[in-house]
C-alpha cells in the first residue's frame, strides 16, 4: 500500500510540487495515516480516513458537480479506526473530493497533499491516469513556465492575481506569441486550470507532439467580490469580469509578456461560469478576439439571438462548444448549439459522455488548442 | 463577524490568490460555515468549526514547531454545534494550524481558503498584521512576478519544481541580476516561502523602500525522496540536495533567467532544515557563494570546526545567523554562533524572541536581504 503521491509518480504522473513526496507523512503519529486515495491498477479508487471516535464519515464530490459521485457516500470503519470506501473504476482525469465527519462540513483528506485551490475552503484532488498516457500526464518533454502575477486593479481598488503559461523556449526567444485567455468556473480561482486541470502539462504535451502553435495562456481570476459593489448583498455578476479582463489584466499581460496584440492572435475560452463569460466577452469584443470556446456552459441566449451571422462568420475563426451528456447544464448548452445551427453561425459542437467535470474540460482544452492561430 | 479573508483584505493584507474572496462560502449549506479564523483588532484570534456531532475538537499548531501553541488546545462547543477557541494576542506574522476531530488526524479549517502548501497533508494558515504595516503586508508598490518552473532532473530521474521571484521591471529589462537561493524547512515545499512566508511581498516592499538591490530569488524543492535511494528505508539525508541544487536547479535557472553567475552575485540562505543545508552548501562551495544565512537552524559543527577562518573571512561577505530564544533548537544555533566567535569567523548573530516560526523567518529575511550584493 503506497502513498497516493508515490503511486502517481510511479504511474508517471506529476502533481505540481508534490510528486517527489515519499511514503511517510509528517504527522507526529505516522502509523495512523493511511494511504488515501489509493488508485488501483483497474482505476478504481480507495479512500481512507483515520477517525477512531467518529460516528459517521461521508465521501463528498464537488458541490453541484457531477464527477465520480452522484451523491455523497458513507465510508465504513474497520477495527483500527480507519474508515474506507472504494469507488470506480473511473475514467482518466482530475477529480476533487472531501469528507464530512460527524455531520460537519466537507474537509480535505489529511493523507493527501494534492489540493484543488478554490475560492473557498480547501478541497482534495487526485488524478486517474489513462491506459495509454493521457494528454494531462507529465512526460519528459520540454516544459513551459507558469507565472503568478500580482497587479493593483484601478477598477476594483485591490490587488488581483493571474497565472500565465509561457511555452518552452519563451525565455531564450525574442518572438512574440499569440495568447489564449483561459477562464475558470464558479468557486475556482486563477490557479485551478493548472493545479487541478494540468493545463500547463496539456500544452507542453501538445506542443511536443506538434499539435499546437506555441502560445501564451493567461488564466485570470474570474470573480468580482460582492463587497466592492454598491449593494454588498446583491448577487455576484459573472459578467463584471469583462471590464477587469480587458481593462486590467490584458494591459498588464501586454506590458509584461511578448504577446501579439491583434485579434487574430487572441483567443478566449473557459469552463462553466468561464464558458458563459467567454461567450459574452468574445461576442461583445469581436475586434479583440477571433476565437471563442465554451466548455460545459451556455451563453446569454438573448444576445446570441440578436447577433448577425454574417458578421460572426466573417470574424470568428473558431467558435467551439463542448458539453457532456450527463452535465446538469447539458440542455442549456445543447440549446445554445442548436441556436447557432439554426442561425447558421459556423461553430463546432463537441458532445461527449460524462458530466460537469475536469476529465471533460481536460479533453476539451486538448481539442480546442490545436485549432488556434492556424494563420 | 466577517470571513477571515475579508478581514485580511480590510487590513490591507493580501494572501496570494485568495484576498478578493467575499463573505459567503461555496459549501452547499452556507449557514453552517462560521468565520474562522477571525483576527480581532487586538490581534487575538478566534478559531471556529461547525461539527455538531463531534465529541472533541482540538486546535493544533505545526508538529514540533513552537508557534502560537505550546501544546494542542481544546475548542468548546456552543448550542448550535459550533466549536470555538480564542488565543493570543499574537505577534505579527504567518501562522499555521489545523484541527483534530474526535481523536483523528490534524485537518485544515474548512472555513479558511488560505493554506500552507506542504510536503504532506494540507495545513491551514493565517496572517496577523502589525500595528504599522509589517514588511510582509502587501502595499501598492510595483510587484515582482513568481514563476513555477518544472525540470527533468537527470540526477534523480524525475521531474522537480522550483519557484523563482523576479523583481518588478525584470520583464522589460535587459539587465542581469544577482541571485539568492532561499531554502525551506523540513515538511515544507518550494511554494512555502511565498505562499506562507510571503517572501515575494517582503522583497517587493524592501525594493520599493530602497533597502535592497533588485535580485532574483530561487526557491528550490529541498527534499530528496527516499524511494530513489538504494535503501528505501534509510533516513532522509538533508544534504542530498547539494548535488541537485548545484547540478540540477542552478543550470536550469542560469539557462532561463538573466542572472549573474559569479560568486559575488550569488547568495544562499534558508530556514530550519534549509539553514543547515545553506551552511553546508555555502561552506563546501565558497567558489560559488559569497553570502550565507541560517534562520533557526545550526550547521554541521564538525566541518565548521575544521574550516579556515582566514579563508572564510576573505571569501564570505556576509555570514548571517538568526534564532529565537524560545526555539527548541536555540542551544544548537547559539552554539554554532559561539563557535564562529571563538574561531574569529566574521558573522552576524541575530538573537530574537519567539520560536521556530514564520514571524521570525519573515523578519530574518527582511534583515538578510538588505545586506546582499552591496558592491
Chain B hits for A151, Cβ within 8 Å: 143
Q: Which residues pair with A352 in a beta bridge?
A: A324
Across the range B110-135, mean pLDDT stands at: 86
A100-117: average pLDDT: 86
Inspect the interface and report whether the beta carbons of A16 and B236 lie closer than 8 Å.
no
Contact B113 A121 (CB under 8 A): yes
Domain presence at residue B158: yes
Say if B137 falls within a structural domain.
Answer: no
The pLDDT, as a whole number, for residue B63 is 57
What average pLDDT score do residues B74-93 get?
A: 93
| B330, part of any domain | yes
Q: How confident is the model at residue A46 (pLDDT cuts 50, 70, 90)?
A: very high
**Are the Cβ atoms of A161 and B190 closer than 8 angstroms?**
no
- Give buried/exposed letters for B278-307 (b at 16+ CB in 10 A, else e): bbbbbbebbebbbbbbbbbbbbeeeebeeb
Q: Are residues B172 and B303 in the same domain?
A: yes
**ipTM for the whole complex:** 0.86
pLDDT at B18 over 80: no
**Cα–Cα distance for residue pair A21/B118, rounded to 1 Å:** 10
Question: Which structural domain, as residue segments, surrounds residue B64?
Answer: 4-128
Among B123, B138, B109, smallest CA distance to B67 is for B123
Q: Which residue has the cell 537561493?
A: B181
Q: Where are the alpha helices (DSSP H) in B285-318?
A: 301-306, 309-315
How many domains are contained in chain B? 2
| Residue B238 in this model has a pLDDT that exceeds 90 | no
Closest to B350 in 3D by CA, of B370, B327, B324, B326: B324
- Domain stops at, among B97, B128, B159: B128
Q: Within this chain, do residues A19 and A120 fall inside the same structural domain, yes or no?
A: yes
Q: Where are the beta strands (DSSP E) in B232-301?
A: 266-271, 291-295
Among all residues of chain A, which has the CA nearest to that of B63?
A: A28
Nearest beta carbon to residue A146 from set B16, B122, B148 = B148
Contact A159 B145 (CB under 8 A): no
Residues B71 and B166 in one domain: no
Q: CATH number of the domain that B168 lies in? A: 3.40.50.1820
Among A270-279, B230-239, B264-273, where is mean pLDDT lowest? B230-239
Tell me: do B82 and B169 sit in the same domain.
no
3-state secondary structure of B131: coil
The residues that bridge with A259 in the sheet, in sequence order, are A177
Residue A134 falls inside a structural domain: no
Considering CB atoms only, which of A26, A104, A227 is closest to B63?
A: A26
Q: Kindly report the average pLDDT of chain A as a whole number.
A: 86
Q: Which residues from chain B sit within 8 angstroms of residue A143, using beta carbons?
A: 149-152, 159
**Residues B103, A49 contacting (CB under 8 angstroms):** no
pLDDT digits (tens, 9 = 90+) for B54-75: 889 999 887 555 577 778 899 9
Same domain, A257 and A215: yes
Please judge whether B145 and A143 are an interchain contact, meaning their C-beta atoms are less than 8 angstroms apart.
no
User: Same structural domain for residues A13 and A159?
Assistant: no
CA distance B308 to chain A (A): 37
Is A112 a domain residue? yes
Q: What pLDDT, in 10s, does the model give residues B326-347?
A: 998 999 999 999 999 999 999 9
Mean pLDDT over the full length of chain B: 86
Residues B106 and B31 in one domain: yes
Query: What per-residue confidence (pLDDT) applies to A9?
Result: 31
**Taking CB atoms and an 8 Å limit, are B51 and A108 in contact across chains?**
no
* Same domain flag for B91 and B153: no
Residue A83 forms part of a structural domain: yes
Last residue of a domain, one of B100, B128, B156: B128
Q: Which of B18, B22, B225 sits opposite A22 (nearest CB)?
A: B225
User: Do A114 and A255 share a structural domain?
Assistant: no
Residue B301 φ/ψ, nearest 5 degrees: -55, -40
Mutate to test the interface with A, among B26, B62, B173 (most CBs of A within 10 A): B26
In a shared domain, residues B29 and B170: no
Q: Which three cell numbers stand for residue A150?
A: 500580482
Using the predicted structure, report yes or no on whether residue B14 has a pLDDT greater than 50. Answer: no
Whether residue A55 sits in one domain with residue A176: no
Please indicate whether, in this complex, the C-beta atoms of A54 and B143 are within 8 angstroms of each other. no
Assess whether pLDDT exceeds 50 at residue A21. Answer: no
Is residue B159 included in any domain, yes or no? yes
- Whether residue B249 contacts residue B241, with contact meaning beta carbons closer than 8 Å, is answered with no
Q: Are residues B298 and B192 in the same domain?
A: yes
Model pTM score: 0.88
Q: Contact A173/A234 with Cβ under 8 angstroms?
A: no
User: Where among A128, A162, A183 does a domain terminate?
Assistant: A128
The percent of residues in chain B predicted with pLDDT above 70, rounded, is 86
Q: What is the pLDDT of residues B200-220, one digit of tens each?
A: 999 999 999 999 999 999 999
- Which CATH number characterizes residue B119's domain? 2.60.40.10
Residue of B25, B105, B140 to mutate for A, most A C-beta atoms under 10 A = B105
Q: Which residues of B touch A158 (CB under 8 A)?
A: 9, 14, 19-20
Bridge partners (DSSP) of residue B219 are B163
pLDDT-based confidence at residue B47 (cuts at 50, 70, 90): very high
**Angstroms from B340 CA to nearest CA on chain A:** 33
Alpha carbon of B239 to those of A252, B24, B223, B252: distances in Å?
41, 46, 9, 20
CA–CA distance, A166 with B277 (Å, rounded to integer): 31
Express as a percent the part of chain A with pLDDT over 70.
86
Give CA A199 to chain center in angstroms.
Answer: 8
Q: What residue ranges in B92-246 does DSSP mark as E strands?
A: 93-101, 106-107, 115-116, 123-128, 145-153, 158-166, 179-183, 216-220
Q: Would you say residue A135 lies in a domain?
A: no
Amino acid at each position: 500500500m503506497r502513498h497516493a503521491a508515490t503511486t502517481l509518480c510511479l504511474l508517471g504522473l506529476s502533481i505540481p510540487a508534490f510528486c517527489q513526496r515519499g511514503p511517510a507523512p509528517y504527522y507526529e503519529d505516522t502509523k495512523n495515516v493511511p494511504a488515501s486515495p489509493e488508485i488501483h491498477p483497474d482505476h478504481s479508487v480507495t479512500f481512507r480516513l483515520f477517525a477512531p471516535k467518529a460516528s459517521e464519515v461521508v465521501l463528498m464530490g464537488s458541490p453541484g458537480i457531477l464527477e465520480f459521485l452522484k451523491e455523497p457516500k458513507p465510508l465504513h470503519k474497520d477495527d483500527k479506526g480507519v474508515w474506507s470506501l472504494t469507488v470506480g473504476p473511473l475514467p482518466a482525469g482530475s477529480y476533487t473530493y472531501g469528507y464530512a465527519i460527524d455531520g460537519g462540513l466537507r474537509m480535505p483528506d489529511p493523507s493527501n497533499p494534492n489540493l484543488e485551490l478554490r475560492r473557498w475552503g480547501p478541497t482534495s484532488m487526485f488524478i486517474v491516469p489513462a491506459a495509454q498516457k493521457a494528454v494531462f500526464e507529465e512526460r519528459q518533454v520540454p516544459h513551459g513556465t507558469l507565472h503568478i502575477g500580482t497587479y493593483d486593479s484601478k477598477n476594483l481598488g485591490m490587488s488581483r492575481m493571474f497565472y500565465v503559461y509561457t511555452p518552452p523556449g519563451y525565455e531564450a526567444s525574442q518572438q512574440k506569441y499569440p495568447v489564449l485567455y483561459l477562464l475558470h468556473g464558479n468557486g475556482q480561482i486563477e490557479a485551478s486550470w493548472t493545479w487541478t486541470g494540468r493545463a500547463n502539462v496539456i500544452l507542453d504535451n501538445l506542443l511536443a507532439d506538434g499539435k499546437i502553435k506555441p502560445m501564451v495562456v493567461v488564466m485570470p481570476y474570474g470573480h468580482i467580490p460582492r463587497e466592492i459593489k454598491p449593494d454588498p448583498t446583491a448577487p455576484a455578476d459573472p459578467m463584471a469580469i469583462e471590464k477587469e479582463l480587458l481593462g486590467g489584466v490584458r494591459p498588464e499581460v501586454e506590458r509584461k509578456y511578448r504577446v501579439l496584440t491583434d485579434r487574430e492572435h487572441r483567443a478566449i475560452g473557459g469552463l462553466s461560469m468561464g464558458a458563459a463569460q467567454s461567450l459574452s466577452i468574445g461576442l461583445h469584443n469581436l475586434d479583440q478576439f477571433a476565437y471563442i470556446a465554451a466548455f460545459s456552459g451556455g451563453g446569454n441566449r438573448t444576445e446570441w439571438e440578436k447577433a448577425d451571422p454574417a458578421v460572426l462568420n466573417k470574424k470568428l475563426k473558431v467558435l467551439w462548444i463542448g458539453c457532456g451528456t450527463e452535465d446538469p447544464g447539458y440542455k442549456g448548452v445543447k440549446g445554445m448549439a442548436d441556436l447557432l445551427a439554426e442561425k447558421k453561425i459556423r461553430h463546432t459542437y463537441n458532445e461527449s459522455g460524462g458530466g460537469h467535470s475536469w476529465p471533460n474540460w481536460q479533453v476539451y482544452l486538448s481539442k480546442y488548442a490545436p485549432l488556434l492561430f492556424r494563420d
